Amino acid sequence: MPSTPSTLGDFTVLPISIPPLPSFPKSTTHYLYLRRNTPKIPTPNDSRSLFLTNCPVDSTDLHLRSLFASLVGPGRFESATFEDERKDTAHKLSPLDAAVPVNAVHLLRAHGSTKKRKREEEEDADKSREDEAARLPSTWTRPLRRSGSTAVVLLADEKSVEQVLKACAKLPKTKKYPEWGAGDVASKVPALGSVWLKQHNRLCYPDPATLQQAVDAFSAVFARREKEAAEIAKRLRNEPDEDGFVTVTRGGRNAPASRSEAEEARKKMIERAEKKRQEMEGLYRFQLREKQKEEQEELLKRFEDDRKKLEAMRMKRGKFVPEA
């Protein structure tokens, strides 16, 4: 095999040797690509973090910790955040965010964020606590990473970053690639294979009490939000918006009508109109005549269509020859 390049664009190549397994008795090499982390929205920790791509699918915190320890010695590795975990936060998958009543979302969006944000930090902390309580238990002991996915590794300091990159640059010369899952990593992380699948099945059936708690926590938050939304709606009825218009909402004195009710009313109206239209059909002679004309045109069109289809079939030869 020709020597592997040590860099790939602005990435440094980190080859990792993979020990053979009984089911695939062949030692192979995996290539990890890393560079300094430079996200579009900078964070204070950027200088001491590394951006990794092409992570092995069975990567865990521990795996990476042992990998970096073998490169630059222990104690430099702080934590790793994997792509799917980051996406979770980016896409706001917390159950609490989902727990906003639809009409509230709608109203808020229509009216700009009128909600006064008090004590934001305090609220954030509250939120993460509630979030945790409402979250359903995970069904996996160890999630797999998508093949070729990325991760951000936080190291102890800037110097460690330098050292890691340097160590990687040296590797192609020495050919002494670090080993994946070296040491006692395997025994520390949850096992894959059959145990992993069994655990999954087991975790799919959580304790009913836990489940009930999560549901309760969620409903509590949801009820609060709903109340808030109702208040906003009520307020909106009387408050003019930027242009000076007052939103007129349907409903009684206490609460606006739910959207589904409004939709149903609309449906009914359309139905009524449709019925009326149907009754009127075929009443006059000119209508009948037009209808017949239309039918005839339709027939002609279909005739043409058939001919076209036939042309198309003729293109595909063999359609018209009886099978032997």
Partner 1 sequence: MDSGPAKRRKLDHSQDGAEKALESAVSTGGVSRSRAFILEAEELLEEVRIDYKTAFEGADQLLHKIKGSIEAIKAQEPLPILEAATKFEKKSKIKIPFPDPQPPKNSNYKVAFAKPAQFNVVGSYVSKTMLKTQKDHSVDMIVVLPQEILQEKDYLDLRYFYKRAYYLAVVANALQKEFGSDGQLSYEYLNGNPLCPVLAIQPKAPEATGKESKGCLQYRIRVIPCAPEGFFPKRKLHLGASLVRRGRDSESETPAHPTAFYNSTVSAEGSFMSYLKLLRQTEKKCAAFKKACILGRTWLQQRGFGGDISKGGFGHFEWSVLLALLLQGGQKMGHAALSTSLSATQLFKAQIQFLSVMNFSEKACVLGTESADLEEYIESGPILYDFARGLNVAFKMGHWSAALLHQHAKWTRNLMSDSSADQFTSTFILRADLPSHTFDLFAHLNYSDVLDEVIGNDYSESRGRVWQLGSKVYRVLNRALGDKELGERARVIHIQTPEQPGWALSEKPKDQSRAALEVGVLFDPANMSRVVDKGPSAGATAEEKEECDRFRRFWGDKAELRRFERDTIRETLVWKSTTPFEICEEIMRYILALHLRIGHLEDDISFYGNGLVDLLSIKPADTTLYNVARKEFSTFERDIRNLDDLPLRVRQIAPVCPELRHASVKPPVFGSLKSGPQPMDCIISFEASGKWPESIAAIQRTKIAFLLMIGNLLENSKQGVKTHVGLEDAHFETENLAFLDVIYESGPAFRLRIHSDLEESLLERQVKDKTLEQYLRQRATTQLAAFRRLYTNLPLHSQMINTSITRFPALGPTIRLVKHWFNSHKLSWHFSEEFVELVVLHVFLCPYPWDAPSSPSTGFMRVLLFLSRWDWRSEALIVDSNGELTGSDRMAIATRLEAWRKIDPNMNHTVLFVATAQETSGTAWTAVGGEARPGKVVAMRMTGLAKAAGRVMREGGLGLDPRRLFVPGLREYDVLIHLNSKVVKSCLKTYGHIDPSEGSAGREGARFKNLDVVTGEEMLPLARHPGDVLMEQLERVYGGPLVFFRGGAEEDCVIGAIWNPGVGRRTFRTGMGGSYKPVKQRKGEGEEEEEKVEVELNKEGMVAEMARLGGDLVEKIEMK
Contacts (CB under 8 A) with partner 1, residues 215-244? 215, 218-219, 222, 226
Q: Does 149 bind partner 1 (CB under 8 A)?
A: yes
Residues 10-39 that bind partner 1 (CB under 8 A): 11, 13, 18, 20-24, 26, 28-31, 33
Of the candidate residues 202, 224, 227, 275, the single one contacting partner 1 (CB under 8 A) = 202
- Hey, what amino acid is at 57? V
Instruction: Return the number of the residue (149 or 160) whose C-beta is nearest partner 1.
Output: 149
H or E stretch covering 266: helix 259-280
**Residue 236 beta carbon to partner 1: minimum distance, rounded to whole angstroms:** 17
Instruction: Return the number of the residue (134 or 155) whose C-beta is nearest partner 1.
Output: 134
Residues 178-197 that bind partner 1 (CB under 8 A): 190-197
Residues 254-283 that bind partner 1 (CB under 8 A): 258-260, 263
**Residues 151 and 83 sit within 8 Å (Cβ to Cβ):** yes
Please tell me the distance from the alpha carbon of residue 126 to that of residue 229, in angstroms, as a whole number. 19
The two tokens of residue 2 are 């020709």
**Residue 289 beta carbon to partner 1: minimum distance, rounded to whole angstroms:** 8
Instruction: Return the number of the residue (187 or 276) whose C-beta is nearest partner 1.
Output: 187
Of the candidate residues 36, 127, 200, 237, the single one contacting partner 1 (CB under 8 A) = 200
Instruction: Please return the burial class of 143, using the count of CB atoms within 10 Å of its CB with bins 0-12, 13-18 and 19+.
Output: middle
Size of interface with partner 1, in residues (CB under 8 A): 96
Please tell me the distance from the alpha carbon of residue 152 to that of residue 266, in angstroms, as a whole number. 51
Residues 54-73 that bind partner 1 (CB under 8 A): 54, 56-58
| CA angle (20 as vertex; 14, 22 as ends), nearest 5 | 155
Of the candidate residues 113, 147, 254, 278, the single one contacting partner 1 (CB under 8 A) = 147
How many CB atoms lie under 10 A from the CB of residue 299? 10
Instruction: Return the number of the residue (265 or 313) whose C-beta is nearest partner 1.
Output: 313
Instruction: Return the number of the residue (49 or 76) whose C-beta is nearest partner 1.
Output: 49
**Residue 157 beta carbon to partner 1: minimum distance, rounded to whole angstroms:** 25
| CA angle (202 as vertex; 198, 204 as ends), nearest 5 | 115
Closest of 265, 271, 67, 91 to residue 168, by C-alpha:
67
CB neighbour burial string for 26-57, b if at least 16 within 10 angstroms, e if fewer:
eeeeeebbbbbbeeeeeeeebebbbbbbbbbe
Give the pairing type, strands 49-53 and 151-155: antiparallel
Please tell me the distance from the alpha carbon of residue 201 to that of residue 163, in angstroms, as a whole number. 43
Closest of 15, 42, 305 to residue 175, by C-alpha:
15
Q: Does 291 bind partner 1 (CB under 8 A)?
A: no
**x-or-dash string of contact with partner 1, 98-137, rule CB under 8 A:** xxxxxx-----x--------------------------xx
Q: Does 252 bind partner 1 (CB under 8 A)?
A: no
Instruction: Return the number of the residue (99 or 161) whose C-beta is nearest partner 1.
Output: 99
Please tell me the distance from the alpha carbon of residue 117 to that of residue 130, in angstroms, as a whole number. 18
**Residue 272 beta carbon to partner 1: minimum distance, rounded to whole angstroms:** 20
Of the candidate residues 166, 227, 235, 319, the single one contacting partner 1 (CB under 8 A) = 319
Distance of CA 300 to the CA centre of its chain: 51
